[in-house]
Homo-oligomer: A and B are copies of this chain.
Amino acid sequence: MNTGVCYFPEHWDREQWEADIERMAESGIEYVRMAEFSWNRMEPEPGVYEFEWLEEAVNLVGDSGMKAVLCTPTATPPKWLLDEYPSIRQEGRDGTPREFGSRRHYCFNSPVYRRESRRIIEKMAARFADDEYVAGWQTDNEFGCHDTTRCYCDDCASAFRTWLREKYDSVDALNEAWGNAFWSQEYGSFAEVDLPGPTPAQDQHHPSRLLEYKRFASDSVAEYNRLHTGILREANSEWFVTHNFMGNFPDIDAFSVSEDLSFAAWDCYPTLFSQQIPDAPDPASEEGATFQRVGDPDMIGMNHALYRGASDGPFWVMESQSGDIRAYPYSAEPADGMVRLWSHQAVAHGCDVVSYFRWRRCRFGQEQYWGGLNNYDGSPDRGLAEATEAAEDFAELPNLDAPSGDVAMLVDYDSLWALETEPHTPEFHYFAHLRAYYRAFRSRGVTVDLVPASRDVSEYAAVVAPSLHLVDQELSERLAEYVSDGGELLLTIRTAMKDEYHKLRDELAPGPLAEPLGARVGQHESLAPGLEKRVRYDGETYEYRTWAEWLTADEATVVGRHETGVAEGEPAIVRNDYGNGHAAYAGVWPEAELADAITTTLLERADVPFGERLPEFVRLAERDGYTWVLNFRAEPLEIDPGNRTPTLGGTTIRGRDLAIVDAPPHEIDLIEEG
């Protein structure tokens, strides 16, 4: 496990480079990412290439004993390119082009832009194909950032029609699959299908059409990414190729794009994300305030798990927060120790390289409020010493395999997009619902793998499929088989309500999964804060939030019932014996106590070991037999690791510090003051 850093030599005087790069090496850094956004420096005029400066920087990096990671510079086409080919600009929903002046102003489906991208990537790849100092590549930067996944230009309209023609045998098949008899929405030909632009009721486009448009847009990104990976692999098949995804990002199927990558990477900004996620706590609250200093450990962890799942093994954090950043609405300085603690958390979750953003705060342009390891005057900033210490820590550790859990959580972008289109209440968010369960497992020290619904889960002791809204025949059969073969399956609200085209089924939810579950969903409702929301489960009363379903148990056993509202007395949670396993269904969005009760029951049945419930800002993370005890709190923490001695740190862990113990989480006890 190593550290890296993002460096932009083009932002600094040439005479500065040696000193910068030397200090990087001294800080224990192994990888230096460069050339992101630098198209204009590599091709200042059409067809005039200047790679010398980059070659020089790569050589300095390599000569200092580090490796370079290069980026395809396509996130920022130069002004001369846009002026020559205005058609490459993205267009907004109402047809307004996205002009030059920030980044990502191009359309993924523009044939011209694909040709121009190919040209610059081929030139770069050829130039560095034999450079021993170049370890690998990052494609583009943060696909989809600034709401750019979906474009409404004519090139996209044509591409969408082609995409539909390939998927459907005929336009009649499309009409039937979508249910276009509704509101006279049938098409007479594929040519009649437009992109979903402004219509009288803005959020009321046909949901099947919106879903397909979102699938198409995500596929377009994957195809565009493949253009990069193909050229790079052809130039040098030993290079790794990755992409830096964003956290909590709903618009692109990270699993699909990652199929073409060596591994996935992501950009981790805890104090930003914990204010931006839709269910972020009020920044005026104590929890919200703490999140601004240390982030939400489980929000961070769930992203690690997602990109580990996308990598199907170790992943990278390509940009790791190294200080204060331009978070909105507030940008607090991270607490002392967090740069190192976040680095360890990443590694504990399976990250192999933690690459800090960035070496030095930039003096100009849009990101002057985005800190780095060094301040803008070049002096070390708060994070540098911590990053250096993290590098030293990692050097002491043996090579470790990626973590692999006993519990799989299915993540399905199709379901996410479908639910976005019909959230039923603005409070519902797919990732937030998943996080409720993820947090429950993590507060018991249990490792959870986030995997695509298409992945084989037969080896997992337990499988959780939260809000798996769209289920096709193949998937439902596979899940039924998993249960009948002895698996423990937990389904939650809104699961299998729809078919793969976003239509309600002929039978009540969970459709084909009603068979293994032995129950059906009779009603659903979203409830205002003013309405009571409680269920009785396993002899206790629990709170839930926003969403309630009530169930009809056929073969299933009712294990939870509604205590409030119109649903009072109706089944809320059921469990069914099916073959050698069990299927359960939780028909409410649980608050933390209920999520804990449901998941521990599941873990017990699945015979997955778990520990005492951890405090909110303490987490245990296991990787290849080692457990990181991560203390996000300000207060110190005493642990009792049984007869082990911590591999790193001691049994008293200061605030925002950690220890590593050569034992599984459930064998480590926390000693709380009496």
Contacts and interface: CB of A to CB of B under 8 A. Distances in A.
Interface string A338-374: 0000000000000000000000011111111100000
Contacts of A102: 183, 199-201, 204-206
User: Copy number of this protein in the oligomer?
Assistant: 3
A178 B11 CA distance: 12
A186 interface: yes
A200 B103 contact: yes
A131 to B, nearest CB: 22
Interface in A213-235: none
Interface string A92-113: 1011111111111100000000
A170 to B, nearest CB: 14
A373 to B, nearest CB: 14
A183 B366 contact: yes
Q: Is the interface of A mostly helix, strand, loop or mixed?
A: loop
A631 interface: no
A189 to B, nearest CB: 9
B525 A331 contact: yes
A324 B368 contact: no
Contact of A292 (B92, B188, B329, B528): B528
Interface string A615-632: 000000000000000000
A332 B289 contact: no
Given A99-B199, A200-B90, A208-B364, A529 B284 contact: yes
B335 A566 contact: yes
A207 interface: yes
A186 B78 contact: yes
A256 interface: no
Contact of A364 (B76, B178, B205, B567): B178
Contacts of A528: 283-284, 288-289, 292, 329-330, 332
Contacts of A80: 188, 192
Given A209-B101, A566-B334, A41 B184 contact: yes
A119 interface: no
Interface stretch (A245-253, A402-410, A424-432, A484-492): A424-432
Interface residues of A, number: 119
B363 A184 contact: no
A362 B182 contact: yes
Interface in A416-443: 422, 424-427
Nearest to A335: B566
Contacts of A10: 181
23 contacts: A11-B179, A40-B185, A45-B188, A76-B185, A79-B187, A79-B188, A79-B192, A94-B96, A100-B199, A103-B183, A179-B364, A182-B367, A183-B365, A205-B366, A207-B368, A293-B566, A329-B425, A330-B425, A330-B527, A330-B528, A361-B504, A363-B505, A377-B508
Closest 7 A/B residue pairs (Cβ)? A179-B364, A182-B365, A289-B530, A283-B528, A146-B200, A284-B529, A76-B184
